[in-house]
Amino acid sequence: MATNRGNTQSAYAQIRRAIVEGRYKPGQRLIEQRIAEEFELSRTPVRESLRRLEAEGLVVSIPNRGSVVRSVSIEEISDLYGLRARLEAYAAELAAERFEDEHLSRMDEGISRFGKALKSLRGADLAGLRVLNEANSQIHGAIMDAARNDRLAQLLARTVDVPLVFQAFRQFQGGQRARSHLFHQLIRDAISGRDGPRAAALMTEHVLQGRDVLLAHLNDNPDVVDDIFGDYTLGDS
């Protein structure tokens, strides 16, 4: 039984990473047998992982096609970031009222990891981007936990499109990544100072910065649009 759980967790982690990092592109069919062969697993843990990823919103099930990596439109990107900005702003405001020392410690650790990753990151180095993305998740996760609002956490889990966040970091230039680092520090200081309105305002600007960079990059580089939006003809052959 433990082995089966381990295989399912391994399949889930590998498939999820492939989606987040864009190796499995939006609109691409996720064929169980091919994925099982790629990761040297049986089809059962792959099937269970795809169901879990569908529940998270990263995968959709389409009649006569099966599981497909979810695609988004420019309008959806704008809407998702707009909703996320409002939800995370509220989380930051609540965090300023409800945080405990452990939450600040986790924020500080994430901010430190983010800063170190920035110094070592060269261009779009995948390993460096992974560390940056993980540190970012730790910071935002600590803020959400400090807010201590389960319903809000559930809404955010469905709103934050993890592949879009990763793609935004991939498109950021050095100065834009440094600006994100500064925002993290300012938000942390507002929360520790119990200044909810300031924490909320900073979080709103921080999230919308990511939206603006991603949309600007797509407008300037139409050749990368399929990496974000996908093409439902992908993966058929």
Query: Do 112 and 212 share a structural domain?
Result: yes
CA distance 152 to 170: 28
Mean pLDDT of 67-91: 90
Shared domain for 205 and 95, answered yes or no, is yes
As a 3-state breakdown, the chain gives helix, strand, coil percent values, each rounded to 5, of 75, 5, 20
Is residue 223 predicted with pLDDT exceeding 70? no
What is the rounded distance in angstroms from the CA atom of residue 31 to the CA atom of residue 46? 9
Domain end position, chosen among 12, 42, 70: 70
What gap in Å lies between CA 77 and CA 171, rounded to an integer? 15
Q: Is 78 found in the same domain as 34?
A: no
CB 26 within 8 A of CB 57: no
Q: Over the stretch 10-39, which tens digit does the pLDDT of each residue have?
A: 899 999 889 888 889 888 999 999 999 999
Residue 4 has what pLDDT?
57
Are 209 and 137 found together in one domain? yes
Going by pLDDT thresholds of 50, 70 and 90, the confidence category of residue 68 is very high
| Mean confidence (pLDDT) of the chain | 86
Q: Is the pLDDT of residue 232 over 60?
A: no
User: Has residue 231 been placed in a domain?
Assistant: no
Task: Check whether residue 119 and residue 192 sit in a common domain.
Answer: yes
Out of 70, 92, 120, a domain closes at: 70
Instruction: Answer with the one of 70, 96, 118 that is the final residue of a domain.
Output: 70
Give residue 58's domain range.
Answer: 2-70
Q: Are 79 and 51 contained in the same domain?
A: no
- 156-168 pLDDT per residue, tens: 988 887 777 887 7
Please indicate, yes or no, if residue 237 is contained in any of the structural domains: no
Question: Can you tell me the distance from the alpha carbon of 100 to that of 147, in angstroms, rounded to the nearest whole number?
Answer: 10
Tokens 């389409």 correspond to what residue?
A: 62
Model confidence at 200, pLDDT cuts 50, 70, 90, reads very high
87-143 per-position pLDDT tens digit: 999 999 999 999 999 999 999 999 999 999 999 887 667 888 889 989 999 999 999
Provide the pLDDT for residue 221.
64
The stretch 168-190 carries a mean pLDDT of 89
Domain with residue 44: its CATH number is: 1.10.10.10
- Please give the share of the chain, as a percent, with pLDDT higher than 90: 53
Same domain, residue pair 171 and 207: yes
- Domain CATH for 115: 1.20.120.530
Any domain includes 212: yes
**Residue 2 and residue 22 in contact, taking contact as beta carbons nearer than 8 Å:** no
Q: Residue 37 domain-assigned?
A: yes
Q: Could you tell me if 97 and 66 lie in one domain?
A: no
93 and 7 in one domain?
A: no
Residues 6+ apart with CB under 8 A from 69: 19, 24, 25, 26, 27, 28, 30, 58, 59, 230
For residue 195, give the DSSP letter. -
Shared-domain flag, residues 103 and 184: yes
User: Is the residue at 233 inside a domain?
Assistant: no
pLDDT at 90: 98
Residue 235, in any domain of the structure: no
| Residue 66, domain member (yes or no) | yes
Whether residue 229 is predicted with pLDDT greater than 60 in this model: the reply is no
Q: Are residues 56 and 86 in the same domain?
A: no
Our count of domains for the chain comes to 2
Could you tell me if residue 170 is left (phi over 0), alpha (psi between -120 and 50 degrees) or otherwise beta?
Answer: alpha
Give yes or no for residue 71 having a pLDDT over 90: no
230 belongs to a structural domain:
no
Residue 231 pLDDT more than 60?
no
Question: Is the domain of 88 the same as that of 192?
Answer: yes
